[in-house]
Amino acid sequence: EMSDLGDWDLAVDQIKNLISEYEKWVDGLDSKIECLETEYYQKSARKNKIECEKVLKRIKGGFELLINSNNEKIVKCFRWMNRAMVWQQQRSKAIQRKWTVKKNGRESSIKLMPINEKGDQSFEELKDFASKLNKGKWRPFQLAFVLMNLKSIIKPNSDERKIVDLIWFPTGGGKTEAY
């Protein structure tokens, strides 16, 4: 729903839900911190909770830029970014296409290999692809990462440009992700 092909009002509701659920999780950490065995663990957990609160503030700030900015280019670019992600998701599973050149004396012909075993030369419509189960979807940490960095992308004088965020995510399938 977040791309320019989707329902923006529904996308906004989904983002609000993500933020709300993260905020509930952060708020619920206090009771868990108190259950930790030692003061050392509690102190470390409190420091981490403060960092989570900072992240929450940045995520909310990115969301506010999206919905309250007078600059329509911000939403347009965000939605185009989402379209690019769906497009990449669709094409990343296709067979690598190669051009084959056949030369017969002085004549040559070029043939483009098909994108799948059925011999298709074109992809299905992006909107149709994105409507399938588990297609065109963000993982919550990915969307949160984008939102928390919007301010530093859009505002050249933002203090957040001094922050370097690195997410290292071992997927367990040999495709470690880093953002």
Say how far apart CA 59 and CA 119 lie, in whole Å.
44
pTM, full prediction: 0.76
β 168-169/107-112 pair status? unpaired
Give the separation between CA 161 and CA 176, rounded to whole angstroms: 25
> Do 147 and 26 meet the contact criterion of CB atoms below 8 Å apart?
no
What spatial distance separates the first Cα and last Cα of the chain, rounded to whole Å? 23
The CA distance from 42 to 27, in Å, is 15
Quote the pLDDT of residue 90: 76
Q: What is the pLDDT of residues 40-61, one digit of tens each?
A: 999 999 999 999 999 999 999 9
Q: Give the containing element (helix H, strand E) for 99.
A: strand 99-104
- As a dihedral over the C-alpha atoms of residue 27, residue 52, residue 80, residue 16, rounded to 10 degrees, the angle is 10
pLDDT tens-digit map of 156-168: 998 988 888 877 7
